[in-house]
Amino acid sequence: MDELERWLRATMQSATQDPPVNLLAGVWRRRRSHLRRVGVSCVAVMAAAAIAVPSVLHAVRPGGSARARGEAAATTARPTAAPGTVLLRCGSYSDQAITGGELYSRWQADSIHAGPVWFVDARTGVWASSRRMAGGKLAAVAPIILAVRNGSTVEITTAAPQRSRFRFLEHPAASGQYTPRDGVGGLTLVACPWYPVGSRIPAAYAAGLTLFYLPLGYITNLTGCVSLQVASPPSWHARWTGRVPLAGDTCKSRS
């Protein structure tokens, strides 16, 4: 059994247990610890095998499925960030994006679903309004996790009336305080390749999804709900809207 198999077995076993309070942060620390043990070069080889082999096996089947062909095309349709957004892509076991990952058993019930995107923990109060600081500055709301269906490319932007008041953060500020002009208005997310998902995988293990971990999060002076629009190729027009409640609000999502 190689290192990757051991890690996956440990992850699957822990996914069936009740999570500690800091599980979301802990799983990323565990991933970083694993990387240090096996070395960057070894991880790159295993990552390529883990992601590419299922996709190749699926691709060589006669014709493949229409869904697989469409999602594979979508993943490569827009390799650069849309104007006003920052590009995040599936990487080789980076801290920024992984395919499949350990959350907790009821994470879907606690999240907002909009098409191919899940706003993880958006129903639990993790997503909140920024704390107001002196001089009109704002504190970051972080970290947050976005889960995107493998094989998908999406753009996430705030609905036009709110766009200037909700910004994803790309770079940290030394002071930890931000102005409403900092950050970017949206994200372009390129998920990991699609591959067949096996059976009997616990719900806590986000099989078939790419988890994008945003350690800096966002800033906003909005209260109530923020409407986050999700677009995908070929039209790149918003097709889904996730109404995300900021802490203390009770808005409902629609997709």
pLDDT digits (tens, 9 = 90+) for 217-254: 999 999 999 999 999 988 888 899 999 999 766 675 44
In a domain, 185, yes or no: yes
In a domain, 92, yes or no: yes
Rg (C-alpha) for the chain, rounded Å, is: 18
Q: What ranges make up the beta strands (E) of the chain? A: 85-89, 97-99, 112-114, 117-119, 138-139, 144-149, 153-158, 166-168, 177-178, 186-190, 209-214, 218-220, 225-231, 238-245
| Structure confidence at residue 189 as a pLDDT band (50, 70, 90) | very high
Indicate whether 137 pLDDT > 90. Answer: yes
pLDDT of residue 39: 37
pLDDT of residue 242: 94
Contact of 34 with 115, CB cutoff 8 Å: no
Give the domain extent around 89. 3-245
In a domain, 11, yes or no: yes
In a domain, 254, yes or no: no
Indicate whether 76 pLDDT > 60. Answer: no
Q: What ranges make up the beta strands (E) of 6-63? A: none
The structure tokens listed for 153 are 């490319």
In a domain, 156, yes or no: yes
Count of domains for the chain: 1
In a domain, 69, yes or no: yes
| Structure confidence at residue 79 as a pLDDT band (50, 70, 90) | low
In a domain, 253, yes or no: no
In a domain, 255, yes or no: no
